[in-house]
Structure 1
Amino acid sequence: MSLLNSEANRVLTRGGEKCEKLEFTEEQEALVVKSWNSMKKNAAELGLKFFLKIFEIAPSAQKLFSFLRESSVPLHQNPKLKPHAMSVFVMTCESAVQLRKAGKVTVRESTLKKLGAVHFKYGVVDEHFEVTKYALLETIKDAVPEMWSVEMKNAWGEAYDHLVSAIKTEMKPTSENP
């Protein structure tokens, strides 16, 4: 099922306003929390693996990052990639951990608006989010193979879909990005 179809199935209307139905169970939360607790001590290394996996699947995605476009340094040695990759990985995982407790994606609103604007500005499309989801799931599977299961894959996939939905809601031109 594509991300768009799963989003369409998750969006409800209340009083003419779109709102998201949270489909994140206690069991899913437990799987995400347990695996994240095991991974967080290696967040920098896992974040880099996550991004290298993205670029392995979709090499053209490197062009979306200004600090990679002009660089002649190998990806794994780029001084700006590792901190960026770690911050994205940590934000993604922390938002997954908080999802059920908060009942929504808990990235700060200003951060969410910035993420939406940046993703819009650089022309991020559904396929980019799909590649990123696949890379995230593969990274987690490799990081916690003893815990990995279909249920865990579904839990992380559901959490990621909620984050993407929140980012897409903010993907619009801003005064800075006409």
Structure 2
Amino acid sequence: MLSQKTIDTVKATVPVLEVKGVEITTRFYAMLFEAHPELLNIFNHANQKQGRQQTALANTVYAAAVHIDQLEAIIPAVKKIAHKHRSLGVLPEHYPIVGEYLLKAIKDVLGDAATDDILNAWGEAYGVIADAFISIEKDMYDEASSIEGGWEGFKDFTIAKKEKESSLITSFYLKPVDSENLPEFMPGQYVTVRTQIPGDEYMLNRQYSLSTSYTPDYYRISVKKEAEMDPNGRVSTFLHEELTEGDTLELSVPVGDFFCNIHENQPLTLISGGVGITPMYTMLKSIAEKNTERPVTFIHAARNQDVRAFGEDVQETVSKLTNGKSYIVYEQEGLDGDFTGFINAEVLKQAANLDGDFFVCGPVPFMEAVIQSLTAIGIPAERINFEFFGPAMAIKTEQNE
């Protein structure tokens, strides 16, 4: 339990964190990696270069300060981040290191304004928050290693097959080198892929949704090739252009809190944009195999036919459902789609099943627009589920908006 003095001191830093948060976290990562470069084997270098990791941590620190007297309010955000940490191999021994350099960064950025009282209060608060992460992540690690077919850390997989799905997306069928049966996963979950690119000093990690229903023999991921000059494109280009069938990658046990219970019966609408189709197709296929009576509507947005993935697969899978529907929305005009332009409130009113739950996945602007449209037509927030591809962000609340 935190003392009232600690709570009051931490809360008093909220205004400065709102202004200086990203500066503090940017300084933190610079100091951390200078002292502990081995941690670059864990962190996503692309997110670092784009500033996304710094912003995500700043949001988390800010949310922790706002809710320091009711930390249970940030537990959902903690759990989401913990899924990422478990998939990357963040361990209890990393937390004291992070705490040390976070306090050093606060002192470095704020100077004399970071009094001993403030640093001591944040040190105490960080200890409580770190303990929450460690406890939640321990349960996740225990589950990953104890479930049937599970393992600790990373495991070697062979690329059994590469299959082009569109001009941008290629599927990789990954079989465990040890030929053991793989653990089941919830449709919508992801794995971390870890690889060493020749010439690079550190391992690179990327998280990819599993893109088909469970089989014990292999996992499938479907990767969009990003522009090579884009920081996100380094690994995807390596996968697309350099790795071939027979090469190996390391994978973590599937994890993630964005998934659907395929055995429920309420109507479901799956909405995806671009490569966001990967977890959605897994949900669709899993339901078609186990619960064909469930009403499912599948809505996908793509720029054109050339970049659209899984078109025939979606149609074939939907046909196995008693009450399944699918719609394609092409951004470009003159194509043979169900709608032209973007997924908006009018499209959703015509295509979606407004009585059920919604899952949304795709680029951030796409998700923001879809969620705003769903809200505009009266869908309550508790029926809207979404997945953000990138660092786990602290969820905004009425108190910190």
Tell me the TM-score normalized by structure 1. 0.69
Would the aligned equivalents of 1:50 and 1:139 in 2 still touch at CA under 8 Å?
Answer: yes
Amino acid at match of 2:20: N
Residue in 1 that maps onto 2:54: 85
Q: Distance in 1 between matches of 2:78 and 2:59?
A: 15
Residue in 1 that maps onto 2:39: 61
Would the aligned equivalents of 1:28 and 1:155 in 2 still touch at CA under 8 Å?
Answer: yes
Residue in 1 that maps onto 2:94: 128
Q: Is 1:26 paired with 2:40?
A: no
Q: Distance in 1 between matches of 2:19 and 2:118?
A: 19
Q: Distance in 2 between matches of 1:57 and 1:93?
A: 25
Amino acid at match of 1:52: A
1:28 Cα offset (Å): 1.5
Residue in 1 that maps onto 2:78: 112
Uncovered stretches (5+) of structure 2, i.e. residues with no partner? 145-184, 190-252, 255-401
Uncovered stretches (5+) of structure 1, i.e. residues with no partner? 1-21
Percent sequence identity over aligned pairs: 21
**More strand, by proportion:** 2
Superposed CA offset, 1:121-143 (max 9, x none): 22222331111101110111122
Would the aligned equivalents of 1:112 and 1:167 in 2 still touch at CA under 8 Å?
Answer: yes
Q: Distance in 1 between matches of 2:72 and 2:61?
A: 10
Q: Distance in 1 between matches of 2:64 and 2:97?
A: 19
C-alpha RMSD of matched pairs (Å)? 2.2
Q: Distance in 2 between matches of 1:29 and 1:142?
A: 22
1:40 Cα offset (Å): 1.8
Q: Which contiguous aligned blocks of 4+ residues in structure 1 show a shift greater than 6 angstroms?
A: none
Q: Is 1:49 paired with 2:33?
A: no
Q: Is 1:40 paired with 2:6?
A: no
Q: 1:156 aligns with which of 105, 122, 130?
A: 122
**More helix, by proportion:** 1
Amino acid at match of 2:12: K
Say which is worse superposed, 116-125 or 132-141, in terms of deviation: 116-125
Comparing both chains, which one has the higher relative contact order based on Cα–Cα distances under 8 Å and sequence gaps of 6 or more?
A: 1
1:105 Cα offset (Å): 4.5
Q: Distance in 1 between matches of 2:22 and 2:35?
A: 20
Amino acid at match of 1:93: Y
Q: Distance in 2 between matches of 1:89 and 1:145?
A: 18
